[in-house]
Amino acid sequence: MDDNDAAAPPTKLATSIQITALDGIVNVNSLFTLAVFIGLAWNPTDPSTQPLNFDPNCLPTAKIAQDLVSFHVYSFSSFLFSSLIALALKQAIRIARSSNHYPRTLHIRDLTFDLAVVNKSALRVGYLVSAAGSVSGCICLMMALINVVQFKLGALGCGSLHVYGAVVPLVILVPSALLIYVCFVLYAFTR
């Protein structure tokens, strides 16, 4: 090892990309959290919200009502957890960026990048934990929406085409999008 290697500062990351990614996580989680909060305000057992053409055998059970509330709460807590982790990571990057030990900006032609000395492993783990919270929240929100469909259109066991027409796209599209999201998170985790 020569003298230049020993005197070199630790590797710096361009943090504007990380801050933007964390802002995106917080913004999406905030929208979903608002949706979940509004969903919690809805009373599924209110008789005025029940359709009149239900077959009495297709009425949702008390278990479905309990699951509806439970999945809303699980979803809310997952999105809140994910957002708090993302906000903590943003704050850690800002604190590292404000450190006076190393230069804080890099100028390349007309572009300026903010730099920070950040523990890359801790940042990756933080992203992974925040993404896991978002994925968990989406899965719980999907389950809550399946229960909403059962309240509005009838229980799944009745075989109504309207129920399946609402639920099948939900259980295909949401997991597909989550799979793509997880692949990109894992790809970013390895870089």
- Give pLDDT tens digits for 49-107: 665 556 777 778 889 889 988 999 999 999 999 999 999 888 887 777 666 455 555 55
Alpha helices in 54-160 (DSSP H): 62-97, 120-153
Q: What is the pLDDT of residue 184?
A: 85
Domain that holds residue 24: 3-190
Q: What is the pLDDT of residue 12?
A: 45
Q: What is the pLDDT of residue 170?
A: 93
Beta bridge partners of 106: 113
Number of H helices, E strands in the chain: 5, 3
Q: What is the pLDDT of residue 73?
A: 93
- What tokens appear for 11 in the block? 């590797």
pLDDT in tens, 23-53: 888 888 888 888 888 877 777 666 666 655 5
- What tokens appear for 13 in the block? 């990351």
State yes or no: pLDDT of 7 exceeds 50. Answer: no
How many domains, the chain?
A: 1
State yes or no: pLDDT of 4 exceeds 50. Answer: no
Nearest CA among 1, 132, 160, 144 for reference residue 71:
144
Nearest CA among 24, 10, 5 for reference residue 181:
24
pLDDT > 90: percent of the chain: 28
CA distances (Å), 99 to each of 40, 115, 132, in order? 43, 10, 30
| Residue showing tokens 């990048």 | 113
